[in-house]
Amino acid sequence: MLILNQFANQLPLKNERKIDQYNFLFYAETIAQLMSFLIFVCETFNYTINMRSDRTFTMIKPDAVANGHIGAILAKINQAGFRIVALKYTKISKDQAKVFYEVHQERPFYDDLTTFMSSGPIVAAILEKNNAVADFRKLIGATNPAEAEEGTIRKEFAESMSRNAVHGSDSDENACIEGAFHFSGTEMF
């Protein structure tokens, strides 16, 4: 506390120019939030710089989660030789979905997509395998399940083109960006 009081004249405190318990807690919380943000930025930057062609990102979408297909989809992923590097059962907000799908912002389906993706829980995962992006895109099949090959995840579990069970990154660069959106460096093994 004494050390903090030495810097009190430089801080925009609400009342007096000394650190009391309220101001200490306020600044401690602010500093903790700033540190969390800086750690996130550094991990994201480091993860993106060190792009790996043997990793991809996927999400099991709210339709497949609601229909109880998590286990079956993860089993198909494992059977196809992918190693799960990170896995998270979570729910994203509409704002998070808008950021995640920002590349589609000008498309007519953008609002429906972000509403759907924030409508229920998802399972986010980073997968590892040689040629991960291309092999996973082949495993999930065409966006439209009616056009997907037999045995693909979308052919088996998707309801429609807009409720197509899974997301899969379309490039190594997007796999890095999308993975870093959902996972910190300490959550990947």
Catalytic residues: 167
Q: Which of 126, 120, 168, 172 is nearest to 143 (CA)?
A: 168
Which tokens hold the place of 177?
Answer: 């960006």
d(C-alpha 102, C-alpha 17), whole Å = 44
- What is the residue-wise DSSP string for 107-168? STTHHHHHHHHTSS-EEEEEEE-TTHHHHHHHHH--SSTTTSPTTSHHHHH--SSSS-SEEE
Which tokens hold the place of 126?
Answer: 């980073």
Which tokens hold the place of 90?
Answer: 């979570």
Measured between alpha carbons, how far apart are the two ends of the chain, in Å? 39
Q: Which of 183, 51, 66, 186 is nearest to 124 (CA)?
A: 183
